[in-house]
Amino acid sequence: AATARMLSSGQVILGPESVVKELIENALDAGATRVDVRLDSCGLDRLEVLDNGRGFSASDADLVAMRHCTSKLADDSGLADLVTYGFRGEALNSLCTVGQLSMATRCQGEELGREYAFDKSGQVVSRRDVAMPTGTRVTVRQLFHCLPVRRQQLRSAKRLREALASVEAAIRSAALANPGVRFALLSDGEALLSLPECASLNDRVRQVLSYAVWQQMQRLDCQINNAVGGRVVAFVPASGADKAMLFRNGDLHSFFIVNRRPVQSAKLVKMIRSTISSAFGVPTKLPVCVLSIELPADALDVNLNAAKTQIGLANEAAVLESIRTMLLDTVPNQSL
How would you write 259-296 as a 3-class SS string? CCEEECCHHHHHHHHHHHHHHCCCCCCEECEEEEEECC
Q: Does 91 bind Mg ion (CB under 5 A)?
A: yes
Q: Are 264 and 253 in contact (CB under 8 A)?
A: no
Interaction residues for ligand ADP, span 68-87 (CB under 6 A)? 70-72, 86-87
* Residue whose CB is less far from Mg ion, 23 or 169: 23
Amino acid at 208: V
Are the CB atoms for 287 and 249 separated by under 8 Å?
no
Residue 72: CB minimum distance to Mg ion, A:
8
- 53 touching Mg ion, by CB under 5 A: no
Q: Residue 13, interface with ligand ADP (CB under 6 A)?
A: no
Which of the ranges 88-96, 178-186, 228-236, 298-306 carries the binding residues for Mg ion, by CB under 5 A? Answer: 88-96
Select the residue interacting with ligand ADP from 9, 18, 136, 322 (CB under 6 A).
Answer: 136
In the bound state, the residue with its beta carbon closest to ligand ADP is: 86
- The one among 12, 24, 64, 282 contacting ligand ADP by CB under 6 A: 64
- Interface residue with ligand ADP among 12, 20, 82, 91 (CB under 6 A) is 91
Measured N-to-C along each axis, helices 91-98 and 16-29 cross at an angle, to the nearest 10 degrees, of: 150
DSSP conformation class of 59 = G
- Piece of the chain touching Mg ion by CB under 5 A; list 23-31, 49-57, 58-66, 180-188: 23-31
Selected from 26, 207, 275, 277, the binder of ligand ADP by CB under 6 A is: 26
Task: Give the C-alpha separation, 188 to 37, whole Å.
Answer: 11
For residue 248, list its beta bridge partners: 286
Would you count residue 9 as binding ligand ADP (CB under 6 A)? no
Q: What is the DSSP string of 215-254?
A: TTEEEEEEE--SSS--EEEEEEEPTT--HHHHEESSSTTE
- Single out the segment in contact with ligand ADP by CB under 6 A; choices: 47-55, 74-82, 211-219, 280-288: 47-55
- Binding ligand ADP (rule: CB under 6 A), the pick from 53, 230, 237, 287 is 53
Stretch that binds Mg ion, among 24-32, 76-84, 284-292, 315-323 (CB under 5 A): 24-32
Binding range to Mg ion, per CB under 5 A, among 25-33, 55-63, 157-165, 168-176: 25-33
Rounded to whole angstroms, the Cα distance separating 164 from 16 reads 8
Number of Cα atoms under 13 Å in the Cβ half of residue 101: 24
Which residues here bind Mg ion, judged by CB under 5 A? Answer: 26, 86, 91
